[in-house]
């Protein structure tokens, strides 16, 4: 029997998994990663994503609210960014402030999980999954600062770290393709866009049935193929830059003017992509989804 061709997860969560009937796939991934039973009650469109859509062509920015009213940011990044660590911090801060009223007390601050699925090397490390939390340790005796019983009752939390954002970084390309756990099975799919029949991690059986390339319309397939081509081109360019040492040179010599020039270059590139898609007869809605450009600009 011919193996069913699946769709990349980044494309799926941006375009296919936002309906309540399809939450099971995303709930499965989040439950396995956070080791918790995650129930999604709402998928929001981040305000920061709307305001800066032109800068998010190669990113997926999804904001999820679960049954505990916690916020989960899911972001996928294909291209390396020197300041990505700080962009993570900015994204969490923006999510917190966007979901607070001016009159709210600090006890209204939401718990945020920032989940980063990356297809480039994040730093100097030997693992492929990293988890960041906030703890306060004594500088003299190394003890961890704990909540008092009254504080636990007030916050409905057990530890100080439960009040603060948590970060997950999945360095997909560092995975060795040997699945030893449910999380490994998910990372295998993220890396290879394949789900072997013996994989049973929560959400993967549903993904195997829902995220089928052949179920897309011809217009969606055309836009998807173009997206895959662009993604591969970007990743190959990054790899070449690293191997030639150009990336390090760009880091050392980066200036404000160069950053502005690169931003203009990216904007021009998106316009060229949109023009090419339009020449192929791709609908405006699909072109907008593929490039991040607003409808008005494409028209």
For 50-109, the DSSP string reads HHTGGG-TTEEEEEEEETT--EEEEEEE-S--TTHHHHHHHHHHHHHHHT--TT--GGGP
Alpha helices by DSSP H, listed for 52-163, are 84-98, 149-155
Give the Cα separation of 43 and 62 in Å (integer). Answer: 7
Give the Cα separation of 68 and 236 in Å (integer). Answer: 41
Give the Cα separation of 254 and 248 in Å (integer). Answer: 10
Give the Cα separation of 67 and 141 in Å (integer). Answer: 38
Sign of CA dihedral 153, 157, 158, 161: negative
Residues 194, 257 contacting (CB under 8 angstroms): no
Give the Cα separation of 132 and 198 in Å (integer). Answer: 31
Q: Beta-carbon neighbour count of residue 223 at 10 Å?
A: 24
Indicate the angle between helix axes 23-34 and 182-192, nearest 10 degrees.
120
pLDDT block averages, 10 residues each, the chain of length 299: 78 79 91 96 64 45 91 88 90 92 90 94 93 97 97 95 97 96 97 94 93 85 79 61 53 53 68 78 79 80
Residue with tokens 């040997």: 178
Residues 165, 90 contacting (CB under 8 angstroms): no
Residues 6+ apart with CB under 8 A from 225: none
Label the pairing between strands 71-77 and 59-66: antiparallel
For 30, the token pair is: 């989040």
Give the Cα separation of 68 and 42 in Å (integer). Answer: 11
* pLDDT at residue 78 in the model: 81
Give the Cα separation of 70 and 277 in Å (integer). Answer: 38
Give the Cα separation of 30 and 38 in Å (integer). Answer: 6
């Amino acid at each position: 029997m011919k193996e069913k061709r699946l769709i990349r997860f980044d494309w799926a969560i941006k375009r296919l998994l936002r309906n309540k009937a399809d939450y099971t796939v995303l709930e499965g991934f989040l439950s396995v990663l956070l080791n918790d039973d995650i129930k999604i009650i709402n998928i929001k469109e981040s305000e920061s994503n709307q305001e800066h859509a032109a800068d998010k062509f190669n990113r997926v920015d999804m904001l999820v609210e679960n049954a505990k009213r916690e916020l989960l940011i899911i972001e996928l990044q294909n291209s390396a960014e020197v300041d990505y660590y700080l962009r993570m911090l900015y994204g969490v801060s923006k999510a917190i402030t966007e979901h607070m009223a001016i009159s709210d007390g600090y006890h209204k601050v939401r718990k945020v999980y920032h989940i980063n699925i990356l297809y480039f090397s994040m730093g100097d490390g030997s693992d492929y999954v990293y988890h960041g939390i906030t703890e306060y340790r004594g500088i003299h005796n190394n003890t961890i600062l704990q909540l008092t019983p009254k504080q636990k009752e007030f916050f409905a939390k057990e530890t100080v770290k439960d009040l603060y954002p948590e970060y997950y970084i999945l360095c997909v390309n560092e995975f060795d393709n040997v699945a030893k756990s449910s999380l490994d099975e998910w990372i295998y799919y993220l890396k290879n866009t394949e789900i072997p029949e013996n994989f049973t991690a929560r959400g993967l059986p549903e993904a195997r049935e829902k995220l089928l390339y052949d179920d897309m319309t011809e217009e969606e397939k055309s836009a998807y193929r173009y997206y895959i081509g662009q993604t591969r081109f970007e990743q190959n360019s990054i790899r070449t830059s690293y191997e030639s040492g150009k990336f390090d040179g760009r880091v050392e010599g980066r200036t404000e003017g160069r950053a502005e020039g690169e931003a203009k270059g990216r904007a021009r590139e998106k316009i060229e992509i949109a023009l090419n898609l339009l020449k192929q007869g791709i609908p405006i809605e699909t072109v907008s989804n593929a490039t991040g450009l607003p409808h008005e600009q494409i028209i």
